[in-house]
Amino acid sequence: MTTTTTTTPRIAIIGAGPGGLTCARILQRHGVTATVHDRDTGPDARNQGGTLDLHEDNGQLALREAGLLDEFFRLSRPEGQEMRKLDTAGTLLFHHTPEEGDRFKPEIDRGQLRGLLLDSLQPGTVRWGHTLRAVTGPAEGPRQLHFTDGTTVEADLVIGADGAWSTVRRVLSPATPQYTGISFLEAWFDDVENRHPDIAGLVGQGSTAAADGDRCLFAQRNSGDHIRVYAIQRVPADWLTAHGLTAQDTDGIRAWLLDQYRDWSPRMRRLITDNDGQYVDRPIHALPVPHTWEHNPTVTLLGDAAHLMPPLGVGVNLAMLDACELALAIVDNNAVADAVRTYEKSMLPRSGDMQRALDKATDGLLSTELPPEFATDTSR
């Protein structure tokens, strides 16, 4: 397919996450140029986080359109689809192992996915060290992008793929993410087969969860013999300072966690106390439900910038599907404004439905009940 756009629009994508990079890649495959601006100083400026499961019916669809699905399968870990549910004593309540050849939602590390997308782009597509300060200019365009380094770029279409605290979103909506009341405290374990064999055995090749009604431990295998564990609790957003702690006070946080999980078995508590390095506090925020805006012909959003939701396995998949649909709309429409309207006509209802489905769904992570899909699974 070739683009039917009669003039070449200047497209600026803000954010070099999976959504922004997927959009740029699909546009380039159809001969449409886009520039990605990212605040990071380079692709290796920071840790990209844990593992992701890309679903056959959204994330993988985008990778197929990007021409990267086969490479994704070479990198992904289908064994990561294994799921275990334990009680607080470490007793196995449920165990799902994927069937041979099951590739519905294999896992891939965030860094690997980002590297796959970056390597697929034309040199110079991503401009690193570009932190967006503001978007100005008339609604009909062109738009001016003002960066904190003093530079300005003009664009006919601005795509906000800049995450939860999006700067681009301010053009379209006054909405800001609100704290959900749930916080994830992340712990890392390295070289687990040698240094933490008991934890490696407890977690397996995929993910393991246990809850007592008020708190949860969720552990997930990453590539490279790493495991990430999340202590999930209903706490105030400022719980660290309220208890006289700081993010650097590893020993103090560990003591606090031991008290919070004092009724759990010693083996389970090792998931939060034998970690390598500091803890990372990740308070969970979400946008209002549903989050919508009036059509603007020169600015639109995708991924978390458009519909930030709790991290329950859909975020990156929806971001990549958004990116795919937006890119194809740009390719298939004669005018940028028509492309934006076409894209938002399907994206906004879809994201609204998912926002409603996941609203307050993090409470389910703390429940001792098996989720319906666990209770009906026959591969125990």
Q: Indicate which CATH number applies to the domain containing 200.
A: 3.30.9.30
pLDDT band at 46 (very low <50, low <70, confident <90, very high): confident
* Residue 142 shares a structural domain with residue 23: yes
Query: Is 369 domain-assigned?
Result: no
* Residue 276 shares a structural domain with residue 299: no
Asked whether the beta carbons of 284 and 230 are under 8 A apart, the reply is no
Query: Is 340 domain-assigned?
Result: yes
- The per-residue pLDDT of the chain, averaged, comes to 93
- What percentage of the chain reaches a pLDDT higher than 90? 86
pLDDT band at 371 (very low <50, low <70, confident <90, very high): low
Count of domains observed in the chain: 2
DSSP string, 345-364: HHHHHHHHHHHHHHTTGGGG
The predicted model gives 262-284 an average pLDDT of: 95
The predicted model gives 230-247 an average pLDDT of: 96
Query: Is 372 domain-assigned?
Result: no
pLDDT of residue 6: 44
* Residue 223 shares a structural domain with residue 111: no
pLDDT of residue 67: 98
The predicted model gives 278-303 an average pLDDT of: 97
* More confident: 371 or 250: 250
* Residue 312 shares a structural domain with residue 349: yes
pTM beyond 0.85, yes or no: yes
Domain that holds residue 21: 11-80+103-176+288-361
* Residue 55 shares a structural domain with residue 142: yes
Query: Is 172 domain-assigned?
Result: yes
* Residue 187 shares a structural domain with residue 310: no
* Residue 36 shares a structural domain with residue 147: yes
The CATH number of whichever domain residue 44 belongs to comes to 3.50.50.60
* Residue 18 shares a structural domain with residue 114: yes
pLDDT of residue 30: 97
The predicted model gives 347-363 an average pLDDT of: 92
Number of H helices, E strands in the chain: 14, 17
* Residue 166 shares a structural domain with residue 296: yes
Query: Is 114 domain-assigned?
Result: yes
